[in-house]
Each structure stands twice: as C-alpha cells, then as structure tokens.
Structure 1
Amino acid sequence: MTGFALGVDQEEWCGRLRALSARRLRPLAEKGEPGRVNRPLLAALGEEGLLERVFVSGALELCLLRESLAYGCTEAETALALQGLGAYPVLRAGSPAQRERWLPGVRAGRLVAAFALSEPGAGSDAAALALAAERDGGGPGRAAAGVDGVDGRGWRLTGEKRWISNAPEADFYTVFARTGEGPGAKGVTAFLVPADRPGLSGEALDMLSPHPIGSLAFDGVPVGPEDVLGEPGRGFRVAMDTLNLFRPSVGAFAVGMARAALDATLAHTSGRGAFGGVLADLQAVAHRVAEMATRTEAARLLVYAAAGAYDSGSPEVPRRAAMAKLLATETAQYVVDHAVQLHGAIALQRGHLLEHLYREVRAPRIYEGASEVQRTIIAKELYREVAAR
C-alpha cells in the first residue's frame, strides 16, 4: 500500500469480504435477537476464518477487515471486533495455559469474550477504576504456598463493571481491577475471569445496540495468580496496548458505515426525480455529496496511516490512533446524518439501511474513549513532543 491507495490484492480481498457480508453474514444477522449474542453469526465468522484473522493480522489488515464487514453487515463487524477486544489481552499478555484454554474457542466462534474495563464511575478516565482486588489466602484451586515459586495468594474481586459489551452472556471476561501496587494506573491488574466463577453475576442493560451490553457484579469473586494477564500492577498497560490497536480499527468500522451511506446516497440522488431532473442536478445536493465523499476519504486515509504507524512500531501510535478514531467516528456521524437528510422520510423507515446506520453510528463516538478523550490524548502527545524537542 502507498500513502494513497491500496494494492490490487487488498482491494480484491475487501471486495470478497463485502460480498461475503451480503451473501452469508447479513441473513444470519437479521435472524438474531437484538440485545443478545448471535452465536450462529459468530460460528460463521469462525468457519470463514475471519476470527482467526483478528489474531494474526497487523493493524492495517484488521482495519480493512472491519471496514469491509461494516460496509455490508455492521452486526458481523461488531461481533468480530468484540471477540478481538475481549481476547486480545489473552493473546498478548496471557500465559501459555490461558491461551491454550481460551483462544481456540474464540477463534472458532464457540466461546464469547468480553473486555470489562468501564465502571459506573470510571468510563473515560480508565485509571480511576474502583473494582477492588483484595488479597486472599489463595486463588481458586491453589495453596497459599504458591506454585513454581510464584506467590500463590489470590484476590477477591468486589465491585461493579458497567456498559460491558457481550455482558452478561460472555463465556469469560478480561477484567481490570485495582490491586494497589501504586496510585492511579500503576495499581491496576488485568485478570481473566470465567463467567461461571462464584460470586460473579450480571444483568443486561436496555441500550441502543443490537448486541448485548450489561453490567457485572463482583461479590468476592476469587481469582488467583493463574488468572492474571501479564503482571500484577501492569494491567493498565495491557488495556492501553489493546486500545492502541483497536482504536484505529474503530475508525475503520466508522469508515465502512460512512462509505455504505455515501454509496446509498449516490444511488438515490442520481435516480430520484425532482424539479424536472434528478436530485443530483441540484447544486445544493451535489455539493453536500462532494463534502460527504471528501470527509470520508480523509478519514479513510487517516485510519490507514494510524494502522501503518502501529505496524511499523512508530512512537506516534497513541496520537495517530486517537486522531484516526476521532476523525473517522465524527465523519461517519456527519455522513450518515446527511445521507438521511438527502433520502428524506424513507430513510427513517424501519429496516432501511440508513435507519439502521443512523442507530449504529452514534455509539463509536463514545466507546473505547469518547471524542473528547481522543482530543485530550492528541493534545498531550503534541505537547509531549514539543517538550522532548
């Protein structure tokens, strides 16, 4: 890929993904129950090898995958992304035993993963987590003496997580809790918590979302050293490593929705009769479509640039990832909103593509760091670079 265009092989792959979304994934998504995990859809993603691609792809390939699926089936894109978000910490920071136990099922679409970071009082400020991990005499199935020289004492998790995608239906959760090794982000540990662990319960929240979003209650949930992802007190780094990869691909999800809305608008305005011609003949319409296309292209290129920075190991990843998510999600909101306006009342009819996109496009401006948080990250990185010079 150059700075401005994808290669022929990449374009062909994206075309195949869009066709697959329409042919196989969209019908499965339409059969799903809103607010529930669509396990047949997950199984299909596994059978097609797309869940596997999440764990072996670089950031650019992940962006192309998410953008292409979003164009044809946002539910499939979201199901795939949530598997990656919940299980990527296991891939990067998990022990060989953890990876062997959980990742094959995730890749096959048999096991549902979830990323449990947000809390009632800690959404945008992830370092303000309150879920407490208090030291216990021993972890599940472990003696206090430890195993292989590792401290065998465990913890008890007490508190709440909220707005967790795939909760309460996930089979396991990547949970971030305060173990207190230091203040703020320095005292957070990541744990892999199976859904059947004693003391863990959850309930669904009634949200504007086709997939489940719920809250989790931790009533002295036992976890041991074998459940830690990475090292105690280093969990915030696990979370940020995951978000730095997935933030540009959230932008890719948004770009996929924007491109779908733009293509629908081009088709509609070029064929809809109005005032003795077609809508596209009206300068006000044509100029608005031109603006929609320009913003979409700018967002697409910024997403690809952020993905390229991640794949090359650039130190600019936090800033570029934040820029990509910010511009792409705000652009998608703009494009979908104007697409609805240019379509008129038909776009608000239940089942219409734009009615669907209008509901879907709002959430990405909030999750994995709201737009305001992305602006804060960008500014901090810019001033940090100035100070370094």
Structure 2
Amino acid sequence: MPAFSLEPAQTAWCTELRTLATDRLRPLAEKGEPGRVNRPLVAELGRLGLLSRLFTSGALDLCLMRESLAHACTEAETALALQGLGAHPVHAHGTPAQRDHWLPRVAEGTAIAAFALSEPGAGSDAGALDLRAEAEAETGGGPARWRLTGEKCWISNAPEADFYTVFARTTPGAGARGVTAFLVPADRPGLTGAPIDMLSPHPIGRLDFDGVPVTADDVLGEVDRGFRVAMGTLNLFRPSVGAFAVGMAQAALDATVRHTSRRDAFGGKLMDLQAVSHRVAEMALRTDAARLMVHAAATAYDEGAPDVPKRAAMAKLLATETAQYVVDTAVQLHGARALRRGHLLEHLYREVRAPRIYEGASEVQLGIIAKELYKDIDTEGESQ
C-alpha cells in the first residue's frame, strides 16, 4: 500500500529531488530577496520539469515533491507549491482558452500564479467573503460583466504575480453559495497591491480592487459555484501542506541526531543522556506518524475516496502541529547556537509557524473533522 511504504522508484525520485534542491535550487534561493518572488528560482523549477508535474501528478506525488524539496530548500518548496495553488483552479476548472494561455507559462516558470481567497475579515471563513463582484448592465447581448471592488489580504505571491485566482461575492447574502472564482490578470485596470513584511520569508501581500473589470470569459467554473473551486483546490493541497511540514520536521530531526551524537556533554555525548535520547525518539515517532497520515490522505484523494475532506484536514493538522513540536524541540536540544541568524534551525523556526494558520488554521481543521464525523449521523436514531 502506498500509504504505508513507497515503491523503490518513488524512494529514488525523492532522493533525486533532495539532491536537485541542494545543488541547483538552494544556491538560487540564497540569492533571492526575502519576502519577494524569486523568478530565477521559479524558472529553474520549470527547467527541471517540476512545475509541469503539478498538472500531471496525483496528490501523493505532490506530497513527495513538497516533502523532498522542503527537506533541503524550503524556498524552492514554497515557490513550487504557490505555483500549484494559484494555477490548479485554472487546470481543473478553466476554459480551453484560459488553460492554453496560462498553464504552459506556469509550467515553464515564466508566469507567476496566485490564489486570492483570504480577506481582512474572512481568512479561514471562506464563506464570509466581502470582495464584491457587482454586475454591470448587459449591452448588446455580450458576455456578462462585473466590477470587482474590495480587498484581499495575506495573498501569497502578491502583489508580484502575473495572474490571480480571485474569489468574489456575486450574490449578496448567499454565503458560500454566492461566490464566484475569476481568473484576473495582474494588469487589469484598478488592481493594485503592496507586500506585507512577515515572520517567514515568503512573498505575501495585499490586493486592492477598485472596480476591476471581469467578464464571463474570466469565470473559473460556474457563477456562484466558486466555493467548490476553492474547496476542491484546498482538499488537494492540504495534505501536501502536511508534506511540507514533514519535510521541515525531518530536516530538524536529522540535524538533531547529528548534533546530539557529536556534542560533548557531562563526560560523554549528548545522546547518552536518556532525557535527550528519549526526546529525539519522540521527535522521530511523531514525524513518521505524520508522514503516514499525509500519505494516507493523499492516496485517498488519488483514489477518489469519499472521506477526502476529513483525511486532508487530519493530515494537515497533525503534520503542521508535529513540525512545530519537532523544530521547537530541535532548537531546545541545540541550545543557543540554533538561535543564530543563518542557522538551519533558526530558518526552520521562522518557516514552521505559518503552516498552522494558512489554508485553514488548526482550529478550522478540527471543525472540518468534527463536521465530517457527524454529518452521516441518523438523527432518527438519537434516542436509541
């Protein structure tokens, strides 16, 4: 079962990805400016054929890519993931014209994609979007037209992306049922933005929409059915957020095993202290458990299982919380050296916090899990 063991070819591919990340991607990442889109890095991901695999691979392969890259170069992992997140709605729901125009450029690494869902008042509550898509009066029987007005916030790759998958409210008061997904090129009049300086060195910003024009030709999927586009994308990418977290956890674990086996302390090595070795064992236990749950969720997605939302939420929740624990413990066992700017663990410590929030905070994942557990309860049998 792929959920419990990988095929030799998959294991070899993961090893190859780690080598590529170390030798070809990390040098480009180190030359990038924190908080900005690193276009040379994205272009190299395209040359290596990794971006094109976003549209040809299943969820498990996506997880293997993200974990392997994260182990050696978190910046490369993030660049790959953001391309996939922003472009997947176009791949899954776009018209032939939309796909033909944008997806080859995304695969080549020459066009930067972004997924614009969150707002200042609607982060994890995607059904509470306020960005308005106000319909214009139809003239001459042409395609339907709207004007987008409002703000998006915490948007990865903003404001430097070349196009955005934007979720806007087309029917007021309809909750999740009144949201439409639009493909919005960055050069549309009225669309501006600004970067946000974050703890982790990711390119994140805000977008302001001042009557940005869109038409029926820009719709992804169906009008008022954009929530399905968003949730379908998140169900695919949530397990792979877990894979990103597992990659960071494994990197921290590997560094800790090396450090504790070499560090002299109290007449022996640090690993000889039972309090230390048991904590390292706990780190390994939790990392492997998270990896298995991520693989199981991804396999369920690839097989079209009915419980994907629950499995995806469980995988994302367990893996991101686990990575936080493992990296924090690694810092503790390394001591002050891990806090120096430029140390691997200093970098991972800043990177590991955000995944517990984005694509649905941990508390939201618990809500999804609970909802899925209770949705099939036979209320008629409650009194039995």
TM-score (norm 2): 0.97
Pick the aligned partner of 1:299 from 274, 290, 301: 290
Q: Which amino acid aligns with 2:10?
A: Q
- Partner Cα separation in structure 2 for residue 191 and residue 144 of structure 1: 23
Map 1:65-214; keep pairs closer than 5 Å.
65-137=65-137, 144-146=140-142, 152-180=143-171, 183-214=174-205
Q: Which blocks of at least 5 consecutive residues in structure 1 are unaligned? A: 147-151
Structure 2 SS opposite 1:386: coil
Code of the aligned partner of 2:141: A
Q: Deviations over 1:217-248 (max 9, x none)?
A: 10010000000001100100000000000000
**CA–CA distance in structure 2, aligned partners of residues 305 and 339 of structure 1:** 26
Cross-structure match for 1:38: 38
CA shift digits 1:142-201 (9 cap, x unpaired): x6412xxxxx12000000000000000000000000000771010000000000000110
Give me the whole-angstrom Cα distance separating, in 1, the residues matched to 2:200 and 2:323: 17
In the aligned structure 2, how far is the partner of 1:182 from the partner of 1:9?
Answer: 51
1:152-301 maps to which residues of 2 (within 5 A)? Answer: 152-180=143-171, 183-301=174-292
Amino acid at match of 1:33: E
User: What is aligned with 1:386?
Assistant: 377
Q: Give the corresponding residue for 1:25.
A: 25
Alpha-carbon contact 1:144-1:153 (below 8 Å) kept: no
Unaligned runs of 5+ in 2: none
Tell me what 1:10 maps to: 10
1:104 offset after TM fit, Å? Answer: 0.7
8 A Cα contact 2:147 2:214, kept in partner: yes
Given that 1:181 and 1:233 are in contact with CA atoms closer than 8 Å, whether structure 2 keeps it comes out as no
Opposite residue 246 of structure 1, the aligned amino acid is F
Amino acid at match of 1:362: R
Deviation of 1:207 (Å): 1.2
- Tell me the equivalent position of 2:61: 61
What is the TM-score of this pair, normalised by structure 1? 0.96
Q: In 2, distance between residues paired with 1:111 and 1:211?
A: 18
Structure 1: distance between partners of 2:220 and 2:3: 36
CA-to-partner distance for each residue in 1:291-329, whole Å, 9 max, x for gaps?
A: 000000000000000001000100100000000000000
Q: Equivalents in 2 of 1:263, 1:387: separation in Å?
A: 48
C-alpha contact 2:4 2:296 (8 A) present in aligned 1: no
Q: Whole-Å Cα distance in 2 between the matches of residues 207 and 2 of structure 1?
A: 37
CA distance in 2 between partners of 1:381 and 1:4 (Å) = 24
Aligned counterparts of 2:61 and 2:155: Cα–Cα separation in 1:
26
SS where residue 169 of structure 1 aligns? coil
Contact 1:310 1:317 in 2 (8 A): yes
Check conservation: 1:182, 1:233, Cα contact below 8 A: no
Inter-CA distance 144–63: structure 2 relative to 1 (3 Å threshold): farther
Query: In the aligned structure 1, how far is the partner of 2:137 from the partner of 2:30?
Result: 49
Which among 319, 330, 334 is matched to residue 339 of structure 1?
330
8 A Cα contact 2:239 2:312, kept in partner = yes
How far off its partner does 1:2 sit? 4.0
The answer to whether the 8 Å contact 1:340/1:354 transfers is yes
Residue 331 of structure 2 aligns to a residue in which SS? helix
Kindly provide the amino acid, as one letter, of the partner of residue 341 in structure 1. Answer: Q
CA contact (8 A) 2:238 2:313 kept: yes
Q: Which amino acid aligns with 1:86?
A: G
**What is the letter of the counterpart of residue 158 of structure 1?**
T
Provide the rounded CA distance (Å) in 1 between the counterparts of 2:53 and 2:213. 33
SS at match of 1:192: strand
Using the TM superposition, give the Cα deviation of residue 26 of structure 1 relative to its aligned residue in structure 2, in angstroms: 0.5
Q: Is the 8 A contact 1:188 1:236 kept in 2?
A: yes
Shift of 1:386: 3.0
Q: Is the 8 A contact 1:247 1:321 kept in 2?
A: yes
Question: Which amino acid in the other structure matches residue 70 of structure 2?
Answer: A
Equivalent-residue separation in structure 1 for 2:137 and 2:77 (angstroms)? 42
State the distance in 2 between where 1:249 and 1:285 align: 30
Instruction: Give the distance between the partners of 2:282 and 2:341, measured in 1 at CA.
Output: 27
The answer on whether the counterparts of 1:85 and 1:115 sit within 8 Å (CA) in structure 2 is yes
Distance 1:189 1:376 in 2: 24
- The whole-number CA distance in structure 2 between the counterparts of 1:103 and 1:4 is 33
Take 1:37 and 1:229, find their aligned partners in 2: how far apart are those partners? Answer: 25
State percent identity of aligned pairs: 75
